[in-house]
């Protein structure tokens, strides 16, 4: 080929696990989040680059391949998934005779697409590859009837914010908070005034549909989330002396005369999907962290807040579907988080994480370390077509946020 001009081209095509795995892993490694020289967070997708979307009803992964003569190189990728979620609510009369029943809020659903895991190799940036990947992914979204597309990004990630807002027509939509708590070497005490009951998935589904289906982003296929093997359980906290696992009457009867306060949440085992690792930390800080862990393990009764082992790959549990009612709901959420901490400890996780609306009243009950958390996870949204009917909620992208938001564990 010497002396001849070699043809350079770029193709965007579907990911093929047989030929693309190593190339994709290589790009992933080179795209560690965080500016070089400082702390970075490395994600190990455990040999399955589709893992972060494969639990969704419909998903796709595209790769960008640079072809120079005979040489082919994966230089970028993007993942996307589509599902049906609540975008608002309307009042509806239940029952055959419209005049008889009192109107009650029912969810309005829409088909949304979610973009995640967009990466372009540092050596190929600012060449329009990211833009092409997003456009091709949006094409697939439209073909499959998605009405909106959204993504979550770090507000400080200028490249990604500019790409989506300036170039692709997305607007800033919501800013929920990611709350992260370390898993200590000691068990956390669960309040003795609370009983925690593990609900069967069908009871959990009933409760969620009855009470939380009008929450923004509530997935219409909540049953498949709850029945997914990654859901370790839905836990309900009730005042001690009201119910136990043995006297649990089922969700229908529970809701017909609930105790004054109660709370629930579900636990998703993200540890089996990916692991994280903090890189770029000095030896001194690593040693200090190790010392706190050694002490916590040796003297668990002191309940020292040890720094978790985050400098080696660690897994996480994600808490989703957080809800509660009554004046003591925040306390009940706290008890559930303690229960979830102990479950994570038993299963060898490094952290427990959740994501809630910035207006969520129950967030007061969620223990977290500020330094590990992210106060504003920026969600951007775009309406994919002008020809959609406005439906009963109008253009969702222009609607004000609600008190709560449902963060689907399949997309973390
Ligand atoms: C974000 C990312 C995918 C962009 O990929 P890319 O191929 O370089 O992007 P493009 O060349 O298509 O750029 C399109 C537009 O995005 C914006 N943009 C891209 N990189 C930018 C940067 N470093 N600073 C500011 N704006 C930037 C610009 O508006 C750009 O248009 P322009 O070049 O005409 O000014 C890439 O920087 C990346 O992989 N970053 C690390 C992983 C990441 O943050 N992913 C996003 C998570 S949601």
- Atom in ligand 1 nearest the alpha carbon of residue 129: 7
CB-CB contact of 109 with 145 (8 Å): no
Residue of minimum CA distance from atom 48 in ligand 1: 153
Q: Ligand 1 pocket, 153 CB below 6 A?
A: yes
CB-CB contact of 353 with 180 (8 Å): yes
- Atom in ligand 1 nearest the alpha carbon of residue 116: 48
Ligand 1 centroid distance, CA of 134 (Å): 11
| Domain spans, the chain | 177-375
The rounded distance, in Å, linking the Cα atoms of 72 and 62 is 15
Ligand 1 centroid distance, CA of 163 (Å): 5
Backbone angles phi, psi at 390, to 5 degrees: -75, -15
Residue of minimum CA distance from atom 1 in ligand 1: 160
Interior CA angle at 276 toward 118 and 173, to 5°? 45
Ligand 1 centroid distance, CA of 126 (Å): 6
Q: Ligand 1 pocket, 166 CB below 6 A?
A: yes
The rounded distance, in Å, linking the Cα atoms of 12 and 19 is 14
Instruction: Find, among 345, 348, 389, 351, the residue nearest to 368 by Cα.
Output: 351
Q: Ligand 1 pocket, 151 CB below 6 A?
A: yes
Residue of minimum CA distance from atom 9 in ligand 1: 130
Residues contacting residue 134 through CB under 8 Å, at least 6 positions apart: 78, 115, 118, 163, 164, 168
* pLDDT tens, the chain, 412 aa long: 444 567 789 999 999 999 999 999 999 988 865 544 456 667 788 889 998 899 999 999 999 999 998 899 999 999 999 999 999 999 887 655 555 568 889 999 999 999 999 999 999 999 999 999 999 999 999 999 999 999 999 888 999 999 999 999 999 999 999 998 989 888 999 999 999 999 999 999 999 999 999 999 999 999 999 999 999 999 999 999 999 999 999 999 999 999 999 999 999 999 999 888 877 667 777 676 777 666 666 667 666 666 666 778 889 999 999 999 999 999 999 999 999 999 999 999 989 999 999 999 999 999 998 877 888 999 999 999 766 666 667 889 999 998 999 999 998 8
Q: Is the dihedral of CA 279, 282, 285, 291 positive or negative?
A: positive
Instruction: Find, among 82, 59, 68, the residue nearest to 5 by Cα.
Output: 68
Select from 62, 154, 160 the residue to mutate for testing ligand 1; criterion: most ligand atoms less than 8 Å from CB. 160
Q: Ligand 1 pocket, 167 CB below 6 A?
A: yes
The rounded distance, in Å, linking the Cα atoms of 266 and 333 is 11
Task: Classify strands 58-68 and 71-93 as parallel, antiparallel or unpaired.
Answer: antiparallel
Select from 124, 162, 163, 173 the residue to mutate for testing ligand 1; criterion: most ligand atoms less than 8 Å from CB. 163
Ligand 1 centroid distance, CA of 351 (Å): 30
Q: Ligand 1 pocket, 35 CB below 6 A?
A: no
The rounded distance, in Å, linking the Cα atoms of 334 and 172 is 31
Ligand 1 centroid distance, CA of 159 (Å): 4
The rounded distance, in Å, linking the Cα atoms of 268 and 118 is 23
The rounded distance, in Å, linking the Cα atoms of 178 and 317 is 13
Residue of minimum CA distance from atom 21 in ligand 1: 159
Strand partners of residue 13: 63
Indicate the length of the chain as a whole number: 412
- pLDDT for 84 equals 96
- pLDDT for 94 equals 65
Q: Ligand 1 pocket, 125 CB below 6 A?
A: yes
Whole-prediction pTM: 0.91
Ligand 1 centroid distance, CA of 338 (Å): 40
CB-CB contact of 346 with 369 (8 Å): no
The rounded distance, in Å, linking the Cα atoms of 170 and 263 is 35
């Amino acid at each position: 080929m010497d002396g001849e001009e070699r043809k350079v081209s770029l193709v965007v095509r579907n990911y093929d696990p047989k030929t693309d795995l190593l190339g994709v892993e290589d790009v992933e490694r080179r795209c560690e989040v965080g500016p070089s020289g400082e702390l970075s967070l490395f994600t190990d997708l455990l040999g399955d680059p589709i893992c972060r979307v494969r639990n969704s009803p419909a998903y796709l992964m595209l790769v960008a391949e640079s072809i120079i003569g005979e040489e082919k190189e994966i230089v970028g990728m993007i993942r996307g998934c589509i599902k049906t979620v609540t975008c608002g609510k309307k009042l509806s009369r239940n029952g055959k005779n419209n005049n008889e029943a009192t109107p009650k809020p029912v969810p309005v659903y829409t088909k949304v697409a979610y973009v995640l895991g967009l990466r372009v190799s540092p050596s190929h940036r600012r060449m329009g590859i990211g833009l092409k990947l997003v456009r091709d992914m949006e094409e697939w979204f439209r073909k499959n009837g998605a009405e909106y597309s959204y993504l979550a990004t770090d507000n400080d990630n200028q490249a990604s914010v500019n790409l989506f807002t300036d170039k692709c027509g997305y607007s800033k939509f919501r800013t929920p908070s990611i709350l992260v708590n370390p898993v200590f070497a000691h068990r956390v005490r669960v309040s003795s005034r609370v009983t925690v009951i593990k609900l069967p998935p069908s009871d959990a589904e009933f409760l969620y549909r009855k009470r939380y289906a009008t929450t923004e982003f509530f997935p219409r296929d909540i049953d498949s989330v709850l029945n997914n093997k990654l859901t370790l359980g839905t836990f309900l906290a009730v005042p001690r002396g009201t119910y136990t696992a043995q006297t649990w009457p089922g969700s229908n009867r529970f809701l017909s005369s609930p105790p004054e306060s109660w709370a629930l949440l579900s636990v998703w085992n993200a540890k089996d999907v990916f692991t994280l690792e903090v890189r770029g930390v000095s030896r001194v800080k690593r040693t200090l962290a190790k010392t706190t862990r050694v002490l916590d393990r040796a003297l668990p009764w002191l309940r020292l807040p040890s720094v978790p082992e985050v400098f080696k790959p660690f897994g996480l549990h994600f808490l989703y579907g957080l809800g509660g009612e009554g004046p003591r709901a925040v306390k009940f959420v706290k008890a559930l988080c303690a229960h979830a901490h102990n479950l994570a400890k038993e299963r060898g996780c490094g952290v427990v994480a959740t994501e809630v609306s910035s207006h969520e009243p129950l967030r007061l009950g969620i223990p977290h370390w500020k330094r590990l958390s992210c106060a504003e996870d920026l969600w951007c949204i775009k309406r994919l077509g002008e020809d959609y009917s406005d439906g009963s909620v109008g253009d969702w992208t222009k609607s004000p946020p609600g008190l709560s938001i449902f963060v689907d564990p399949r997309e973390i």
